[in-house]
Amino acid sequence: MANDPKSEGIAQKLEHGLEYFIFASRWVQAPIYVALIFAAIAYAWKSVQELIHLLGGFATATESSIMLGILSLVDISMVANLVNMVVVGGYVTFVSRIDFGDNGDRPDWLDHINANTLKVKLAGSLASISAIHLLKSFIDITSAASADKPMTASHEKVILWQAIIHGVFLLSMILFAWGERMQRHGDHD
């Protein structure tokens, strides 16, 4: 009975159905990507508010406050780039190809995207965002020092942790890039 063709047919159908269900489960990620798109739209609105705030106080602003405002806009831009990479790269890598048709706006990086290169790009983006936050903290310290305001121990702790976190992001990025390069090198052998 173990080799009964009827039972093998049922077993194969069950297996095929299970495999189809597992493969189709990738679409569970699609609503997550849509949610990230709406979050990016909300963040874009935040950039408009930041620009209005920056321009509204421009006449009386110090160089440091203008620089901090610009860094905030750069930070928002980098986070938006990160979200875009996650949405587009993640969708293409894990859900489905995107049919661009004859549209010439197709980003070049999509031709070379896979899970490893996506990790490297994300790690690089996180390290860049972390660097912007660290730079903003240093500018705050410089502004405070020029106004003769002493730096408190809590400020020092925040900057120390920001520097440590930035170092971890940099190390992660280097390790991801090295691993991706090693895998690519191994694939060519």
Query: Splitting the chain (189 residues) into consecutive groups of 10 residues, what average pLDDT does each group show?
Result: 67 93 94 96 94 91 88 92 91 87 77 79 88 87 76 82 92 88 75
CA–CA dist 16, 152 (Å, integer)? 64
pLDDT at 21: 95
CA–CA dist 52, 50 (Å, integer)? 5
Domain residue ranges of the chain, discontinuous segments joined by +: 28-188
CA–CA dist 72, 162 (Å, integer)? 16
Residue 188 has a CB neighbour count (10 Å cut-off) of: 6
CA–CA dist 72, 57 (Å, integer)? 15
Judged by DSSP in three states, 2 sits in: coil
Separation of first and last alpha carbons in the chain: 47
pLDDT at 2: 54
pLDDT at 100: 78
| Vertex 46 angle, CA 40 and 47, to 5° | 90
Note the pTM of the prediction, 2 decimals.
0.75
Kindly give, in sequence order, each residue whose CB lies less than 8 Å from that of residue 53, ignoring residues fewer than 6 positions away.
69
Residue whose structure tokens are 């502004």: 143
